[in-house]
Amino acid sequence: MSQIAELNETAELKLGDITVEFPVITGSENEKGIDISSLRGKSGYITLDLGYKNTGSCTSAITFLDGELGILRHRGYSIEDLADKASFIEVAFLVIYGELPTKDQLAEFEAGIKEYLMPPAGIQQMLKAFPSTGHPMGMLSSAICALHAWYPESLNAYRPEDQKALTYRRLLGFLPAISAWIYCVQNGQDFTKADASLDYSENFMKMMFNKDVAPAVVSAINKLLILHVDHEQNCSASTVRMVGSSHANLYASISAGIDALWGPLHGGANQKVIEMLEAIKADGGDADKWLAKAKDKDDPFRLMGFGHRVYKNFDPRARIIKKAADEVLNNLGIVDPVLEIAKALESKALADPYFAERKLYPNVDFYSGIIYRALGIPTEMFTVMFAIGRLPGWIAQWREMRIDGDPIGRPRQIYTGYPPRDFVAMENR
Ligand code: CMC
């Protein structure tokens, strides 16, 4: 599925008296890598790369991104085109299966998902049992993992692809419903029913708010979901692959991906951005003061929604979202002072040498929360929205890893603990 070419080049590493040679490989967009898989066998050494800043963990044909140029493409199609011209389900099919669906394929895929719009009743009982202090992401990951109990055949890692495809459809159908129900639990609302006559985003919003949703809102949600579909080997996608590499089932792997996404350095940043903007507003709206805090190395505060491991230029998703935030607020006639604070913060940060030198630009999370807020979605649910959008990408990454037959993920380490020492009996401690 994902292919690499071996170049006529080699890389040499000198380690004392020995010289080790490695093949140089290239991807379809000419990114080059050194295949060091033989390093330990040939030399006894390993490489150390904290945070995997320079380490490719797999080959993949799903998403290409060029962080220097601010390019993002799924299966060769630009994110700008997909966000503008496609439906979320079309993009989900594209990332999972590699090609845009034909009309018939799309109809069949959509109908398959619509068979699973209502999760098992036991999931409702489970969600109801959570105390009100439960965070939606924790509830979501628990419920997704629990689904295996209703579909125990999913535990068999060696099922044929068409049976696994049922799990993809169940997940795509159930995840928005579970998310809407989490909202119901948190708001003391009765559980809502799915409406299979509606489009994916509309059904989800209606399940959450239990009322009809304006077309402008449905279209904004569709766009936001597409913008979150996949982002190659980020923390949550790598988690899904890592868990799946032990041949754990897809529910468990996606549940783990949700947990990884929850963190404020990853998808949880969208919640933190709004909390930050609210705090700045409550503090008098002085952008310079908060930028100074972000630059102060003795202050743990970071400008949330800024910076990215791979983008050293504008995150192309942030450009689209910023425009969409303006459109949604205008359409709905909402004036949100937090949007003005966000814009002031962005323009000051972009003009500041600290951010310029480190190539820190707004990322996907900087403006997405402003749209979610305008649509009436509570802050704690923002990362759940990210998860609904990211689900097709996680499925695609898991599926590709299994089809490629990737080995179990098992990094090495450099041990820094004690040398051998004698056990001390309890009476002598
Ligand atoms: N505010 C202030 N300084 C920053 C920020 C920030 N948001 N991001 C990075 N820096 C500084 C950092 O202190 C370091 O400075 P120095 O070189 O002087 O030590 C330099 O920039 C490089 O940062 P890093 O932490 O080494 O970079 P990283 O690639 O490990 O981290 C990041 C990437 C996204 C975790 C980080 O930029 C960050 O914490 N941003 C805020 C959280 C955020 O918005 N996360 C969402 C990411 S996009 C959505 C997703 O896909 O997850």
Q: Which residues line ligand 1 (CB under 6 A)?
A: 51, 231, 234, 265-267, 269, 294, 302-309, 358, 360, 363-365
Task: For domain 269-374, give the CATH number.
Answer: 1.10.230.10
Query: Angle, nearest 10°, between helix axes 161-186 and 250-262?
Result: 40
Task: Give the DSSP letter of residue 312.
Answer: S
Kindly list the domain boundaries of the chain, sorted by start residue.
5-66, 77-267+381-404, 269-374
Query: Residue 306 Cα, ligand 1 centroid: separation in angstroms?
Result: 7
Which pTM value belongs to this model?
0.94
**Furthest-apart CA pair in the chain: how many Å?**
76
- CA 299, 300, 302: angle at the middle one, nearest 5? 105
- CA 239, 243, 249: angle at the middle one, nearest 5? 130
Task: For domain 5-66, give the CATH number.
Answer: 2.20.28.60
Bridging pattern class, strands 63-66 and 18-26: unpaired
Q: Which atom of ligand 1 is nearest to the CA of 307?
A: 37
CATH 1.10.580.10 fits 77-267+381-404, yes or no: yes
Asked if 257 contacts 401 with a C-beta cutoff of 8 angstroms, the reply is: no
Instruction: Per-residue pLDDT tens, the chain, 429 aa: give them.
Output: 456 777 788 999 999 999 999 999 999 999 999 999 999 999 999 999 999 999 999 999 999 999 999 999 999 999 999 999 999 999 999 999 999 999 999 999 999 999 999 999 999 999 999 998 999 999 999 999 999 999 999 999 899 999 999 999 999 999 999 999 999 999 999 999 999 999 999 999 999 999 999 888 899 999 999 999 999 999 999 999 999 999 999 999 999 999 999 999 999 999 999 999 999 999 999 999 999 999 999 999 999 999 999 998 889 999 999 888 888 888 888 888 888 898 899 999 999 999 999 999 998 889 898 899 989 899 999 999 999 999 999 999 999 999 999 999 999 999 999 999 999 999 999
Name the token pair of 268: 């949880």
List Cα–Cα distances, 344 to 282, 369, 397, in angstroms. 15, 16, 37
Query: Residue 309 Cα, ligand 1 centroid: separation in angstroms?
Result: 7
Asked if 231 contacts 393 with a C-beta cutoff of 8 angstroms, the reply is: yes
